[in-house]
Amino acid sequence: MQQGAKYSQQVAFDEYGQPFIILREQDKQGRLKGKEAHKANILAARSVAKILRTSLGPRGMDKILVGPDGQPTVTNDGATILQKMNVTHEIGKLLVELSKSQDDEIGDGTTGVVVMAGALLEEAEKLLDKGIHPIRISQGFEDACEVAVKHLEAIADRVPWTEEKLDALYETASTTLGSKVISRFQKQMSKIAVDAVLAVADLKRKDVNFELIKMEGKVGGRLEDTMLVRGVVLDKEMSHSQMDKEIKDAKIAILTCPFEPPKPKNKHKLDITTAEAYRELYAREQKYFKDMVQMCKDSGATLVLCQWGFDDEANHLLLQNKLPAVRWVGGVEIELIAIATGARIVPRFEELESKKLGSAGLVREVSFGTTNDKMVVIEGCAHSKAVTVLIRGGNQMMIDEAERSLHDAMCVTRNLIKDNRIVYGGGAAEVACALKVADFADSVSGVEQYAVRSFADALEQIPIALAENSGLPPIESLAEVRRKQIDQKSNTIGVDCKQKGTNDMKKQKVFETLIGKQQQLLLATQLVRMILKIDDVIQPQDKF
């Protein structure tokens, strides 16, 4: 706060009433003006964008980022890379925000949007060198962006899908996952992502509540063991290994009281002087346990979830009475299960009654891997559509990345539910737009024409980056795609990153959502225009 005051600026007026700015302690401040400011800003933004460029596409590289606590993160997700990079430069931060807004709105395309912004800035720099005013460049970019966004709509295809025929959803989710480390199990993972979204989606309102999809990671096992559970997963096991492992049409009692005889709260002393007294005490304790188990049984419960532990005696009695139970269930889970199954949380045994029980179609204990990790899965909950994606993997880093990738795929599926239009990936949409924008440039008079043409060039940077990252000759690949698009009057030709032998992205089934692609262009252009409008950078030189 003090720092701000120290370097604050003040507006004053000279004798003719003209305003001017007084910068206090100017010698202690760095200041960049005009073209210099533009250049410096563009340079900063481009260097951030350059880092992401190699991550784009199905053959894009991953990054490893080590946090302040020494914890490494391995990821391919643009937004995550930028967020974890801890960018301190003010313009660099704008790019972090750019990627984040794409992530918030769309979920996928967070790398592409930054690469596009970087390409636009590179073009802007060339135009500035030619002596074109930043405002004219900015105008040209805006006009070109409008044309491109409209053209995307024109070339978009509708993918009609129904609940019986979900291929289009699977394939689009699969394209999103193609650039991630879990792409080895692309098919299985995209099915999990789509099924999870559909399970909770409200198709009439075209709305998806992501809060109902819980991602649970558990280290161990293999990535392909990842599964979708239509219900709640509890990282606990049955309190006794011989209890039933599968309960159909379960009636669940949720207890927040322990299976123990009540203990007096203050200090107490008990003198047992005769064997008779001891036997009586023992019988009394036994009765407590028996009553508790009986009360559970009487309520009709077939499964007991308890927030606290049980005495061994209680555990034994529960087993004898064929009443499976889970102990030490966390508070958060208790609430979640209560909501999902429609159960009431019961704080005293006396309050147990049948209408307070929750119901679930199937509760089972499943074990994984060689370590025999166990989990309790509650499926077919009566009151909620909640699903859990149980992610398995060799280490936490892998699980985290799988979670981020699945999230991307789920976002894409949600977007398709909202709007079922797609464009073709692999740079096909970008090249089609570039051709259209280049055409449009010829009809623009004034210096904006240069900016419009540059926008087309910037669009072509996406297929170039895709080809580069796949080890293909970039310029030749782009030239081939362009020629084929023009010759065949097609807008589905893109870069064959995976060397499948065809350029046709429709055949390769590389789909991207229309709204995602449009948003990329709009956000990138908006940001570049913002950077171009800055012509003065004032900051304290000795940064703290």
Ligand X SMILES: Nc1ncnc2c1ncn2[C@@H]1O[C@H](COP(=O)(O)OP(=O)(O)OP(=O)(O)O)[C@@H](O)[C@H]1O
Radius of gyration of the CA atoms of the chain, in A: 31
Active-site position among 73, 110, 413, 525: 110
Residue 77 interacts with, from ligand X, Mg ion, none (CB under 5-8 Å by kind)? ligand X
Binding to Mg ion by residue 401, rule CB under 5 A?
A: no
Q: Where are the beta strands (DSSP E) in 296-393?
A: 303-306, 325-326, 345-346, 358-368, 373-381, 387-393
User: What is the dihedral sign for C-alpha 504, 507, 513, 514?
Assistant: positive
Chain positions contacting ligand X, by CB under 6 A: 55-58, 60, 76-78, 108-112, 175, 178-179, 408, 425-426, 462, 466, 494-495, 497-498, 508, 510, 512
Least separation in angstroms between CB 384 and Mg ion: 30
Give the residue ranges of DSSP H helices in 33-166.
34-53, 78-85, 90-105, 110-129, 134-155
308, 329 Cβ separation under 8 angstroms? no
CB 465 within 8 A of CB 57: yes
Q: Which residue lies nearer to Mg ion by CB, 44 or 521?
A: 521
**Least distance to ligand X from the beta carbon of 100, Å?**
11
How do beta strands 373-381 and 63-66 pair? unpaired
Find the catalytic residue in 400, 408, 496, 504. 408
442 included as an active-site residue: no
Across the strands, what pairs with 392?
Answer: 218
Using CB under 5 A as the binding criterion, the count of chain residues that bind Mg ion stands at 2
174 phi and psi, to 5 degrees? -65, -40
Given the complex with Mg ion, which of 63 and 251 has the nearer CB atom? Answer: 63
Among 75, 111, 176, 513, the active-site one is 111
Taking the least distance from each CB to ligand X, the nearer of 250 and 510 is 510
Tell me the closest approach of the beta carbon of residue 427 to ligand X, in angstroms.
6
Q: Active site includes 195?
A: no
- Nearest-approach distance from CB 425 to ligand X, in angstroms: 2
- Active-site residue flag, 408: yes
Task: Select 232 or 510, whichever has its Cβ closest to ligand X.
Answer: 510
- Which one of Mg ion, ligand X, none interacts with residue 528, CB within 5 to 8 A by kind? none
Establish if 108 lies at the interface with Mg ion (CB under 5 A). yes
Among candidate residues 149, 131, 9, 105, the one with its CA nearest the CA of residue 411: 105
Q: Between 127 and 458, name the residue whose CB sits nearer to ligand X.
A: 458
Q: Is 371 labeled as catalytic in the residue annotation?
A: no
Residues 6+ apart with CB under 8 A from 482: 431, 434, 435
Smallest gap, in angstroms, from Cβ of residue 107 to ligand X?
7
Q: Which residue is nearest to Mg ion (CB)?
A: 108
In sequence order, what are the beta bridge partners of 540? 29
**Interaction partner, residue 58 (ligand X, Mg ion, none; CB < 5-8 Å by kind):** ligand X
Residues in Cβ contact with 317 at an 8 Å cutoff, skipping those fewer than 6 apart: 289, 290, 293
Q: Which of positions 170-189 make contact with Mg ion (CB under 5 A)?
A: 176
**Nearest of 459, 432, 493 to residue 112 by alpha carbon:** 459
Residues that bind Mg ion (CB under 5 A): 108, 176
Active site residues: 77, 110-111, 408
